[in-house]
Amino acid sequence: MIKHVKRLSRVFIMFAVFCQPLAFHGQSQTQEIKITIHLRGVYESNISLLGLSNNKTFKPIAEIKGVKNGSTVRLPIAKDKLPGEFVLRFDYKENESSTPYPSEKYIFINDQDLELWVSPKYCNNADSTWFQKDERENAAFVRFSKENGKQKEKLGLLQNFLMNYDDTESTFYQQGIGEYEKRRQAFNQWLTDQTQQDTSLFVSALYPFQYVPQIPWKGTETERINSLINHYFDGMDFQNPLLIKTSDLNKWMDGYVNLYGQLSTTEALRDSLFPEAGRRAIEKARRGHPLLYGWMVDYFYRGYESNGITAGMKILEPYMNDPNCLTSKRQEIARRLKGMETLVPGSKAPDIALTDMYGSLFNLYGFEPKVKYLLLYFWSADCSHCVEMANQMYPWQQQPEMQQKVKVVAVSLDETDTEIAAWKKKIPEFKAWKHMRAEAGVRSKVASDYYILATPVMVLLDAKTKEIIAVPNTLTELMVGIK
C-alpha cells in the first residue's frame, strides 16, 4: 500500500545505504551479448528471447517477427541480464498458409556471443540445432547432463532395489546398503569435481542441485524424511550468488518444503512445521552470500503470505530488518536510490505511457502542450502531505500568468480500493490538471522509471524537449525553477 511506503520509506532508505552493489562471480563486463540465429527448415518464424524474471518465470525481453527460412538475425542481451538462463521461442510456419506452431529451446548465456543454427521443428535435437564450435556454456551443460544421467540411473536402480527388498535383515541387503553408500559418495565427489572443473562457467551453478543426500535405510518413513531434511543442504554452496540466477533453485527449495509437507498430517502441524522449515533454511543461507540470504527470505515470504501462515511471517521479521539481507525490496530501494542520481537537469525524462482518467492513452513524448514547462506530479490522495502540496500548488498554477507557462500532469500512485476512491473524490478539486493513475502504485513501471520511493515527487520538464529542468522538493523550489 502507498501509505505504508510513505511512512516507512525513511526506514527503508536507512537500510538501503548499506546495500552496495554486489558483483556476480563470473559476470560479464561487456555492454551486451549478441545471439546470432540462422533459421532453417521452416517457411518463417517469429523469434522471441525470454529471460528469467524475479518470480522465476520466463518473460519476453526481445522479439523479431517474420524471419524467413535461410535468414540470419541478431538479438542483443543487456549486461544486467547476464549471466543467466534463457528460452528461445519459435512461433513458426511450415509453409505460408500454416498456423503458427510454438517450439522452445533452453539456452545458457554468460560472457560469450552465441551463434546458433536452428530448425525450430527439431530445435532440441543435436543434429538439427548447434552452436559455434568454441561455444562453452551450453556445450558444457550437455556433457554434464549426459554423464549425470548415466550415473544417476545406476544409483536409482540400486536405490529402488533397497526400497523394495523384503528381507532387510539379510546379509545381502546389508551389502546392498554398503554398495549404495559407496556409489552415492562417489557420485557426489564427481559432482564436486565437475563443479570445480567448470567453475568459470555459469552452468556449474546448476550442478550441485543434483547432490544426493544420505538415506537411513533402517527406521520408519518419518525418520527417513527427517534425515533427508537434516542433510538437504549438505552439497550446496550458499556463497555462490549465481544460484539465484537459476530456475532450479526455486524447484530445489520446493522439494525441501515438500518434505515438511509429507510430515504435516494436520493444519496445526503444518503451521508449526513450515515456519521451522523457513527458519532452518534461512539460517543456512544467512551464512552465505547476502543475495542468497535475501532470496531465501523472499521465497518464504511469498509462501507464508499466500498460505496465510502468520507464525511464518513472524519469524521473518528479524531477517527482513537485517541490512545484510538483500531481499528484492531492499535491492529495489538501493537501485532507486542510485537511479535518483540520474534524474538531473539536462537529462531526458523517462517516457510515460498510461491511460488517463477519461480512458485515453497518454504518452509523455507525444504530449505537446502550448506552454514552456511541464510539471509531473507523482502523488497519492491517501497521503496528507501530497494533498497539502496540491492544495498549495493548484491556486498558484491556476493564476493566468502561470497557466500560460506550466501544465501539470498528476500521476496517482494510489493502489488499494480505499485509496482509489479517495483519489476519484479528490481530483475534481484539481480539474485543470491532467490526471492518470499507475495501477501498480510504487511497483508500477512509471514509479520504477522515475525511481520513486515515496510521494510526493515533482519533476519539472521542458514541455517541448522533455528534458529535466529541476526536481524540486518544495513549492518554493518549484517557483524558483519557473522563469
CATH of the domain at 87: 2.60.40.180
Residues 262 and 378 in one domain: no
Q: What rounded mean pLDDT belongs to the chain?
A: 90
44-48, 279-283, 382-386: lowest mean pLDDT where? 382-386
Is the pLDDT score of 411 beyond 80?
yes
Domain assignment present for residue 12? The answer is no
For the chain, give the percent of residues with pLDDT over 70: 93
- Residue 164 — pLDDT band, cuts 50, 70, 90? confident
Residues 476 and 373 in one domain: yes
- Residue 27 — pLDDT band, cuts 50, 70, 90? very low
Residues 295 and 161 in one domain: yes
pLDDT of residue 137: 97
pLDDT of residue 18: 35
Residues 142 and 102 in one domain: no
pLDDT of residue 16: 35
Domain assignment present for residue 10? The answer is no
Residues 292 and 203 in one domain: yes
- Residue 211 — pLDDT band, cuts 50, 70, 90? very high
Q: What would the DSSP string read from start to end of 28-90?
A: --SSEEEEEEEE-SSSEEEEEEEEE-TTS-EEEEEEEEEEETT-EEEEEEEGGG-SEEEEEEE
Domain assignment present for residue 472? The answer is yes
Domain assignment present for residue 14? The answer is no
> 252 — phi, psi (to 5°)?
-65, -40
pLDDT of residue 28: 41
The whole-angstrom separation of Cα 410 and Cα 42 is 50
- Please state the length of the chain: 483
pLDDT of residue 220: 84
The whole-angstrom separation of Cα 271 and Cα 268 is 5
Give this prediction's pTM: 0.78
Strands (E), 225-277: none
- Per the structure block, which three cell numbers stand in for 393? 500548488
Residues 169 and 314 in one domain: yes
pLDDT of residue 163: 83
Residue type, 289: H
Q: 337-340: list long-range contacts, CB under 8 Å, 24+ apart.
A: 337/13, 337/16, 337/17, 337/451, 337/453, 338/21, 339/451, 340/451
Which of the two residues, 143 and 217, has the higher pLDDT score?
A: 143
Count: domains in the chain: 3
Residues 185 and 294 in one domain: yes
**SS3 state of residue 337:** helix
| CB proximity list for 334: less than 8 A, separation 6 or greater | 16, 19, 20, 21
Domain assignment present for residue 323? The answer is yes
pLDDT of residue 52: 87
35-39, 239-243, 332-336: lowest mean pLDDT where? 332-336
Which of 93, 115, 131 is where one domain is finished?
131
Domain assignment present for residue 180? The answer is yes
Q: Residue 312 class from Cβ within 10 Å (0-12 exposed, 13-18 middle, 19+ buried)?
A: buried
pLDDT of residue 1: 29
Is the pLDDT score of 12 beyond 80?
no
Residue 269 is part of which domain span?
137-329
Task: Provide mean pLDDT across the span 79-83.
Answer: 90
pLDDT of residue 31: 66
Residues 210 and 358 in one domain: no
Task: Provide mean pLDDT across the span 187-213.
Answer: 96
Residue 271 neighbours by CB distance under 10 Å? 17
Is the pLDDT score of 20 beyond 90?
no
Model confidence pLDDT, tens digit, residues 267-315? 888 889 999 999 999 999 999 999 999 999 999 999 999 888 999 999 9
**SS3 state of residue 168:** coil
Residues 316 and 418 in one domain: no
Residues 300 and 429 in one domain: no
Residues 382 and 256 in one domain: no
Domain assignment present for residue 15? The answer is no
Domain assignment present for residue 17? The answer is no
Is the pLDDT score of 30 beyond 60?
no
The whole-angstrom separation of Cα 446 and Cα 457 is 12
Q: Is the dihedral of CA 242, 248, 249, 250 positive or negative?
A: positive
